[in-house]
Amino acid sequence: MSIQRIETGTRMSQAVVHNGTVYLAGQVGEADGVAAQTQEILGEIDALLAQVGSAKEKILSATIYLADMSTFAEMNRVWDAWVPAGHAPARATVEAKLAGPQYKVEISIIAALEA
Q: For the segment 73-86, what is each residue's pLDDT rounded down to a tens digit?
A: 999 999 999 999 99
Q: How distant, in Å, are the alpha carbons of 25, 26, 35, 98 from that of 50?
A: 15, 17, 23, 26
pLDDT mean across residues, the chain: 97
pLDDT of residue 5: 97
The Cα–Cα gap between 103 and 83 comes to: 22
pLDDT confidence band for 115 (50 / 70 / 90): low
pLDDT given at position 114: 75
Each residue's pLDDT tens digit, 1-43 = 799 999 999 999 999 999 999 999 999 999 999 999 999 999 9
Domains of the chain: 3-112 (3.30.1330.40)
